[in-house]
Amino acid sequence: MPKLSIITINYNNLSGLKKTIESVKSQTFQDYEWIVIDGGSTDGSKELIEENKEYFSYWVSEPDKGIYDAMNKGTVLAQGEYCQFLNSGDYLIAPDTLAKIFSRPLQADVNYGDVWFIKDNKVIEKRTYPDKMTLSFLFKSPLGHQATFVKTEAAKKYLYRTQYKISADRAFFLELYCNNHSFNHLSQPVVYFDSEGIGSVNKTRNERREQFYRIKREFFSDQVTKDIEHLLSIEDEFQFVMRIKPLKWMYLFFKKLQQIKYRL
């Protein structure tokens, strides 16, 4: 059994697929299988896959029902201990990235690293995830599946819900968390993430919000969801107060100066 199953999905993203393929091929870590699921591309992606087929344990190019259907197809085929969903356009930070991650045994069911967001080949954000995973975080933010290594048996148990065409990854991690699977932060950047993907672009923001609204109510009742969101708003207010608290002395100092000025 290989240590890792790398699952790459692609549809008409030839330039992105080239980056992903070159990234994986350059890795010093070799204890992996590589599954490529192409959605029947017509832009030369299939030909690129055929040119590199010696590196793949399995590949197919055929129509599918979308991103998460393709990812599920790869998951079902995976034989590694862990799965990583490294989709076309995303690529690993350095040639020794996987070697560093697997230099010691992974203990958790979900091991998540940090993500550097790119646009036009420039890093626009270095996103660091919390050391301790909480329901609070999962309610507020998505977890980057490109930088996450999930035990394959867990990934197969909780396949992506394909009815959520943009936000199924949020349901995936929420379900893992709610079923008491362990999470561990790897505390290192893992991938450059193509921020032009369908789940990131601004034009889908409202749709993503609407889908996550439905996801939360699939896991929790309306009242429980409202209670959690109310507690999160209190937490946000508390954190805001704690951030500005050190500035109180400055406010008092300048207020005192202003009083002295008026007296003069």
* pLDDT score of 160: 95
Phi, psi of 125 (to 5 degrees): -160, 135
* Residue 210 confidence (pLDDT) above 90: no
Whether 140 contacts 216, CB under 8 Å: no
pLDDT mean across residues, the chain: 86
* Residue 240 confidence (pLDDT) above 50: no
* Residue 25 confidence (pLDDT) above 50: yes
Question: CB under 8 Å to 70, separation ≥6 — which residues?
Answer: 9, 11, 37, 39, 64
* Residue 106 confidence (pLDDT) above 90: yes
**Domains located in the chain, CATH noted:** 4-201 (3.90.550.10), 228-263 (no CATH)
* pLDDT score of 166: 87
Instruction: Tell me how far apart the terminal alpha carbons of the chain are, to the nearest angstrom.
Output: 82
Q: How many CA atoms lie within 13 A of 9 on its CB side?
A: 20
Confidence of residue 237 (pLDDT cuts 50, 70, 90): very low
**pTM of this prediction?**
0.82
Whether 118 contacts 124, CB under 8 Å: yes
Confidence of residue 244 (pLDDT cuts 50, 70, 90): very low
Distance, CA of 87 to CA of 125 (rounded, Å): 19
Confidence of residue 128 (pLDDT cuts 50, 70, 90): very high
* pLDDT score of 199: 47
In this structure, of 26-30, 68-72, 136-140, the range with the lowest mean pLDDT score is: 136-140
* pLDDT score of 105: 92
Q: Which residue has the higher pLDDT, 204 or 242?
A: 204
Region 101-119 average pLDDT: 94
* Residue 261 confidence (pLDDT) above 60: no
In this structure, of 136-150, 174-188, 215-229, the range with the lowest mean pLDDT score is: 215-229
* pLDDT score of 235: 53
* Residue 137 confidence (pLDDT) above 50: yes
* pLDDT score of 53: 96
Which percentage of the chain shows pLDDT scores above 90? 64
Confidence of residue 238 (pLDDT cuts 50, 70, 90): very low
* pLDDT score of 221: 61
Q: Which residue has the higher pLDDT, 231 or 107?
A: 107
Cα dihedral value 204, 208, 211, 217, nearest 10: -160
Q: Which residue has the higher pLDDT, 121 or 102?
A: 102
* pLDDT score of 61: 97
Distance, CA of 103 to CA of 224 (rounded, Å): 41
